[in-house]
Structure 1
């Protein structure tokens, strides 16, 4: 079974969100998603400084099997991308919740109030369906 961390929020599209500092939220794909994709070879990032809306496609992830859209689970302004993935996209496979994070977004409002995201228990239930 895929690893699901209790301290993260999850989207139905298999992205995770974690409060990094203040209004900044770190985004990545879940362990489940990286298993489905297989060996990841390239990441197309959203542009730093761009405004994004929750649920919108903001980039893509290419694996040896397929190319998958990357959706943002939150709305806000992209403040940072994980440059390490340009040289080592396999970090997503190795550490999807650690060094394999993809980008950060500055949100308005409280992280805990982000609508539409699942807590760990609800995400585990989604995976079991």
Structure 2
């Protein structure tokens, strides 16, 4: 059996609201409860398992590889919600997308400050322009 990522735990202040935020924005199925988690299922069978914590949230980075058509749909939802977005993970290039590797990518934050990224080409797969 090949090694595959199955799930990751996402620390959150509100597991229902933040799981719905990601699922709605990315066009994924409604989150489902499992034990203390609210789980968001991606199309490659990896789940983001949202778990509420009373501790300070340490922002993490979650990147989602999507098609060009999905990029258009998701980016339109980002803009419709008036969410800030950046071409880079350091939040220096506000209001822009990047075109790394001949694709498109953009970064935005979830309500807890986790940095989310959508990209249409894996890193290192093509043209190295920004």
* Same fold (TM > 0.5): no
TM-score normalised by structure 2 residue count: 0.24
Q: Name the structure where strand makes up a greater proportion of residues.
A: 1
TM-score normalised by structure 1 residue count: 0.24
Q: Greater Rg, structure 1 or structure 2? A: 2
Larger RCO: Structure 1 or Structure 2 (Cα < 8 Å, ≥ 6 residues apart)?
Answer: 1
